[in-house]
Amino acid sequence: MELNILKEEKDIIELEICGETHTFCNALRSELWNQDEVKYAAYAIKHPLVGIPVFVLNVNKGKPKKILADAAESLKGKVKEFKSLIKSI
């Protein structure tokens, strides 16, 4: 995975997430929607086969990079928990 920042302002960040698909982007977007600081989180993939996801995060308060990093850590924890539950079956 490679991240390329396209736009960064006080309350918004727009970045490309190279090497990822709807699977990761949807999970990240859902995780961000659970945070009160998030005004909106969305992404678009212009071409279904060769498109690179462009992710946009707009926040009401706080720093977008920090909120994005926190959401990624939270998602990582949920994946570990899910993996543990699968192993226990």
Distances (CA, A) of 85 to 24, 27, 63: 20, 18, 33
How far is the C-alpha of 75 from the C-alpha of 55, rounded, in Å?
Answer: 16
Q: Say if residue 32 is exposed, middle or buried (CB neighbours under 10 Å; 0-12, 13-18, 19+).
A: buried
Q: In terms of Cα–Cα distance, which of 6, 63, 74, 15 is closest to 42?
A: 15
Q: Which of 44, 72, 73 is nearest to 56 (CA)?
A: 44
Q: pLDDT band at 89, cuts 50/70/90?
A: confident
What confidence score (pLDDT) does residue 14 get? 97
Q: What is the pLDDT of residue 47?
A: 87
Q: What is the pLDDT of residue 27?
A: 95
Q: Check pLDDT > 90 for residue 1.
A: no
State pLDDT tens for residues 31-86.
999 999 999 999 999 987 888 999 999 999 999 999 999 999 999 999 999 999 99
**CATH classification of 2-88, choosing from 3.90.580.10, 3.30.1360.10, 3.40.50.10320, 2.102.10.10?**
3.30.1360.10
